[in-house]
Structure 1
Amino acid sequence: MTEHKRKIGLFYGSSTCYTQMSGEKIAEQLGADTVDIYNIADEPLSTALFYRYLIFGIPTWDYGELQEDWEDVWEELDELNLDGITVALYGQGDQEGYPEWFLDAMGFLYHKLKQRGAQIVGFWPVTGYTFEGSKALTEDKQHFVGLALDDETQFELSSKRIEHWCKQLKDDFNY
């Protein structure tokens, strides 16, 4: 196994630094020597294929839209074969400012990655959030398809949520 295959690749897009800061906290929780972290504005998504375990961070922008860096590389996702790769997602959203579209971009990414063969892990309960709609919900609507963060209105909860989610990921990634 190559050295990359033993590590976790974390890829994020960020306009306001919240998604980047969350990624850095996730890497710290999982172990800086275990996680290679990349900004998708600077690193091709094809680098993800060097990893067996991936984490993708995506904020939802405005009315359920993709963040600009993700929008720029969205088509590249269609070229990735993710069979045999385990992927976890985290997203940033604003449940008060955009309650009808809370974390929609994470839902779009989830469906795109599933089509590419990824095994998605790291679902997160909807308890503790107030929103009207989200494309990032599991079929039973009891969980988000990844870690749900809202640094606009619940910043004080993010560190604890990241800590708990990372404990869950260690099991999901067999670390």
Structure 2
Amino acid sequence: MAKIGLFFGTDTGKTRKVAKMIKKMFDDDTMAKPENVNRAVAEEFLSYDFLIIGTPTLGEGLLPGLSADCENESWEEFLPKIEDADFTGKTIAMYGLGDQVGYADEFVDALGELYSFFSERGATIVGAWPNEGYEFEHSEGLGEDGKFFGLALDMDNQSNLTDERLKTWLGMIAPTFGLPL
């Protein structure tokens, strides 16, 4: 079994694309193939001690799921399947997609929802990302230290920065995850 699980929720496919970009950098022993949470089995998800998870923020700051008008189930429907799990001893890094221009008041809010869910269940969250270089009004994806809870990506307005940000972020989490970068 691979050392790191890679799971994502998506609506338009952009979060999946980023997951594939991450996976391309690692072999199968290091990282599992990206898996959409709408196909994930709770036991498999819970079997990893190291997880990289991704999510877009939809509409007015929502996790992807049926109530956010997604065509398929996503994080909204998967989280209840693991809500009684203890994540103590598990390390999670997160990335989130948002649109800082069109949704400046809820930019990457879903990162905040995932952060709350997993940290309340004992997970160690790594990969906080600085908010410099973004222009938005408000984000529930920011911690008290002013950093995002994970990597914030804007594929609508700053797609030209995605590769560089992704490589830098993976370099930041590499020591914790034992990644060969």
TM category (shorter chain) comes to over 0.9
In structure 2, C-alpha distance between the alignment counterparts of 1:145 and 1:19, rounded to whole Å: 16
Q: After the TM superposition, which of the residue ranges 85-94 and 34-43 deviates more from structure 2? A: 34-43
- Quick check: 1:147 aligned with 2:144? no
Per-residue displacement from partner, 1:121-153 (whole Å, max 9, x unpaired)? 011110110101011111121x10000011011
Match of 2:82 in 1: 77
Q: How does 1:8-87 map to 2 (within 5 A)?
A: 8-36=4-32, 37-68=34-65, 69-87=74-92
In structure 1, C-alpha distance between the alignment counterparts of 2:130 and 2:108, rounded to whole Å: 13
- Structure (1/2) with the larger strand percentage: 1
Structure 1 residue identity aligned to 2:174? K
Q: Is the 1:77–1:113 contact (alpha carbons within 8 Å) kept by the matching residues of 2?
A: no
Deviation at 1:70, TM superposition (A): 1.1
Structure 1: 4+ residue segments shifted above 4 A: none
**Change in 2 beyond 3 A, CA 1:147/1:31:** farther
- Quick check: 1:117 aligned with 2:122? yes
Q: Is the 1:89–1:147 contact (alpha carbons within 8 Å) kept by the matching residues of 2?
A: yes
The TM-score normalised by the length of structure 2 is: 0.89
Match of 1:138 in 2: 143
Per-residue displacement from partner, 1:11-47 (whole Å, max 9, x unpaired)? 1011111000001111222445411121111112331
* SS of the residue 2:113 aligns to: helix
**Change in 2 beyond 3 A, CA 1:30/1:121:** farther
Structure 2 residue identity aligned to 1:164? T
**Change in 2 beyond 3 A, CA 1:42/1:64:** same
- Structure (1/2) with the larger helix percentage: 1
Q: Which runs of 5+ in 2 are unaligned?
A: 66-73
In structure 1, C-alpha distance between the alignment counterparts of 2:123 and 2:142, rounded to whole Å: 17
Give the root-mean-square deviation of aligned CA atoms. 1.3
Percent identity, aligned pairs only? 39
* SS of the residue 1:66 aligns to: coil
In structure 1, C-alpha distance between the alignment counterparts of 2:55 and 2:163, rounded to whole Å: 17
Q: Is the 1:30–1:166 contact (alpha carbons within 8 Å) kept by the matching residues of 2?
A: no
Q: Is the 1:58–1:90 contact (alpha carbons within 8 Å) kept by the matching residues of 2?
A: yes
Higher relative contact order (CA 8 A, sep 6+): 1
